[in-house]
Amino acid sequence: MPRYSLNQKEQKSCAGACIAVALKELGIAGFEADQSTEMRVYGQVQRGSGQESAPSKIDKFLNAQPGIRAWIMESPLRTGALIVGSKGALIKPWLEYSKELWSDWSWRYSRGLVEGDFRDGARVMLCSIIADGSNLTHFILARKDGNDYYVMNPDGGSDELHNDLFSKYINSYDAHDFGGVDYVYTGICIWIVPSSAPRSL
């Protein structure tokens, strides 16, 4: 499948950009890798006007689209370790996210991301913390092209080769650079595959 990239239009519209690119790459009708599609999606997945996007709303939006399946995955060990390591600074956003899962009737699979999850043309939205002390979250889009991992960062619209994705990011607590910005992986992601894919979580 082809890869695309997109520079997000607004400060917190990264999820809209990731979804626009992911669904364009998967060949879903009505989705283009452009800012018009990004903003249309962002309007449906944001917590409130101009706010960050909620994983529960992303899950609901994606599973309402024909031709794909999506799930939220969370590694409890990783999120717990990050909460402790941040001296409680991340407990508020994690509680907000967990509350939204209940209120929006979304399910999370309690396990970490593994390399096998990138089969079947999967696109994975990685929920990350911007490593600047703000504790704001940001979505980047990971996928496997042949034997290589590529990550699209909508903050700037880069699409870079990252074959160290698991060793330096998914399985590491250190900040890692994508498109010139440092992030730490939260352990929460949204897994997206074509509905025709022969496997599920």
H or E, element range at 102: helix 91-103
For the segment 94-113, the average pLDDT, to the nearest whole number, is: 91
Q: What is the pLDDT of residue 88?
A: 72
Q: What is the pLDDT of residue 94?
A: 87
Closest CA to 147 of 177, 178, 117, 118: 118
pTM (predicted TM-score)? 0.95
What is the rounded average pLDDT for all residues in the chain?
93
- 2-46 per-position pLDDT tens digit: 899 999 999 999 999 999 999 999 999 999 999 999 999 999 999
Report whether 192 contacts 123 (CB < 8 A): yes
- 68-99 per-position pLDDT tens digit: 999 999 999 999 998 888 767 788 888 888 99
For the four alpha carbons of 102, 190, 178 and 176, in that order, the dihedral sign comes to positive
Domains in the chain, ordered, with CATH?
A: 14-194 (3.90.70)
Q: What is the pLDDT of residue 200?
A: 61
Question: Does the structure show a pLDDT above 90 at 197?
Answer: no
Report whether 165 contacts 145 (CB < 8 A): no
